[in-house]
Structure formats: structure tokens, C-alpha cells
Structure 1
Amino acid sequence: MTTVKPIQWDLPDPFTIDLVVRAEDTDRLGHANNVVYVRWLEEVSWAHIDSLGMNWDLHEQTGKAMAITRTEIDYLMPANEGDRLVLGTWLTGYDGKFRSSRQFQLVRPADGKTLVRAVSTHACVDLKSQRPSRAPKAFADILGGAVVSGGRDVGFN
């Protein structure tokens, strides 16, 4: 029987997904490749906003989407093939108009270790022009209502 340590989340009540490092996720060094971490961040972000009602249908109806403008990742410890992981995320900022921010924490429950911490910023864009655009009210209602206080201030520079 595998012992699982309690997860010490950086912020309360994260939205989480469970992951398992597959052989194809690893690189020549034998651990999860940096590109895989970026994919996981994107997967949990989409799953999170979808769970809040900001699904792809809403994006198509409004003609808007939140596009990543910056991602900062701190790789603290490697993840290896077969590792079972939990990736948590929080919305940590929304300026009420164009930009939002998100924080991530990747944990290996077997030993309770945090493997990755990351932050990202997003800007609302028009789906057709791909140019910055004010967020529609539906986005503002969802994003503004989901922001968790106490997250890393990544600013909106």
C-alpha cells in the first residue's frame, strides 16, 4: 500500500487534476520534459475555466478568449516515469477589463513534495483578429468571482 502525504497547498481550495508521468513524457535525462509541464499547465487551465462555466461555447458566442501572454515556471524537483502527481491552480488576479493571472502548484503526493510552481498572465483577445479586446461581461463575471486572494502578484506589465 502506498502512503500518501497530505498536500500542503500554497493557497486554499485549488482546482486540481491528477496526472501520471508516462514514458513519452520523459526526456533524455529520464524525467518529465519541460514541454510536458507547459502542456499540463494548459490542460488544468482549460479544465478549470470550463468548470466555472467559461467553456468553449461561451468563447465562440462572445468571439473572445483569454490568451497566455506570459508564463513563469520554477522547476523545483524532477518528475519521473510512473510518478502520480496532482496539479493545482487558482485564478489570482483579474483587472476587470483585459487581463487575468493564474498560479499553479504541481505536487507528488507520495512524498508531499512540490515539484513545480508557476504563474501565468492572460489577455483577452478577439478570436478573429487575435488582437487585444475588452473582456465581455460574461468573462468578467466568471473571472472576477473566481479570484483567490493571497496569490503571487505577477503584475500585468
Structure 2
Amino acid sequence: MQIFEKTIVVSKDDLDQLNHVNNVRYVQWVQDIAEAHWLQNATNSILDNVFWVLVNHQIDYKSQAVLGDQLLVKTYVTRSEGITSERIVEFINKTTDKLIVKSITKWCLLSTKTKRPKRITPEIAKLFD
């Protein structure tokens, strides 16, 4: 299982009225890191033929992040079969090493030509091994 990581520093724009990271921001970050991981691994040929859409999203908020916190964001694919893939995204406070948010998302692979579901090929599944 290949783990893709990046660090986010919480900015003022990420905060809600309670001065912690807005829940909607986590959803955006989940999508952003999934896309970054995909774009890092997929060839131009693959990118020309298929794309992913989010079909299900579960997110567990375990703690909060505030202005200036450094968050280690880790993502990995746990399953790819048929037309769907399951991805985990974890947000870890780098100072405390504490898991603050965990997301499980289900993605469906679509053809760029037909916009219809397409089976995940072994070539695509191997991108995340």
C-alpha cells in the first residue's frame, strides 16, 4: 500500500466562527489530496481516458485544529475492484502526533469519453500498491 503525504499549515481562511478548522475545509482537503495522489501516479494516457468521482464520504472528527497547527495529511487506497475504489485520508497534528480527522471515501472510475463507469484495470489498481 502506497502512502501519499503532504503537510498543511492551518491559516485564518481555514477557520470557522469557533476559530477551529471548518468541517467543510476538511472535505476540500480530502478531495485535494486524493487528486494530488492520482495526478502524481497516473500517466497522461490514463488521465486522457478516465477520471474519478466521489460517490460516498464518511468523515470522523476526533479533535480540532486551530490557527498555525501543522497537519500531516496521509492518504492511501485500501481497495480497488470493479468500478470503485476506497481511500483513507488521515489528518494528524504534527506537534502532538494525534489523529484529529479520519475520512473514508468511495470513488467511482468513469470514462472521459462516455462519462459512464469503467472497470478499474490492473494497470490503474497497481498505481496505488
The answer, yes or no, to whether TM exceeds 0.5 is yes
> Which residue pairs with 1:7 in the alignment?
none
Q: 1:126 to 1:71 in 2, by over 3 A?
A: same
> Which residue pairs with 2:56 in the alignment?
70
Q: 1:57 to 1:32 in 2, by over 3 A?
A: farther
**TM-fit CA distance, 1:51:** 2.1
Please tell me whether residue 141 in structure 1 is matched to residue 123 in structure 2: yes
Pairs within 5 Å for 1:79-94: 79-94=65-80
**TM-fit CA distance, 1:85:** 0.7
Aligned-pair Cα RMSD in Å: 2.0
Equivalent in 105, 110, 115 of residue 125 of structure 1: 110
**TM-fit CA distance, 1:50:** 1.9
**TM-fit CA distance, 1:57:** 6.0
AA aligned to 2:47 is: H
Structure 2, gaps ≥5 residues long = none
Percent same amino acid at aligned positions? Answer: 26
Equivalent residue of 2:52, what SS? Answer: strand
Moved more, 68-77 or 42-51: 42-51
**TM-fit CA distance, 1:99:** 0.9
Q: What TM-score comes out, normalization by structure 2 length? A: 0.88
- 2 CA distance for matches of 1:56 and 1:68? 21
Which whole-Å deviations, capped at 9, do the CAs of 1:67-91 have from their partners, x for residues lacking one? 1111100011011011111000111
**TM-fit CA distance, 1:142:** 3.0
**TM-fit CA distance, 1:13:** 6.0
Contact between 2:2 and 2:77, CA under 8 Å: does it hold in 1?
Answer: no
**TM-fit CA distance, 1:124:** 1.2
Specify which structure has the higher proportion of strand: 2
- 1 CA distance for matches of 2:14 and 2:117? 33
Please tell me whether residue 112 in structure 1 is matched to residue 100 in structure 2: no
Structure 1, gaps ≥5 residues long = 1-11, 148-157
**TM-fit CA distance, 1:59:** 2.0
Equivalent in 5, 10, 17 of residue 28 of structure 1: 17
Q: 1:57 to 1:79 in 2, by over 3 A?
A: farther
Q: What TM-score comes out, normalization by structure 1 length? A: 0.74
Number of residue pairs matched by the alignment: 129
- Report runs of 4+ in structure 1 exceeding 6 Å deviation: none
> Which residue pairs with 2:4 in the alignment?
15
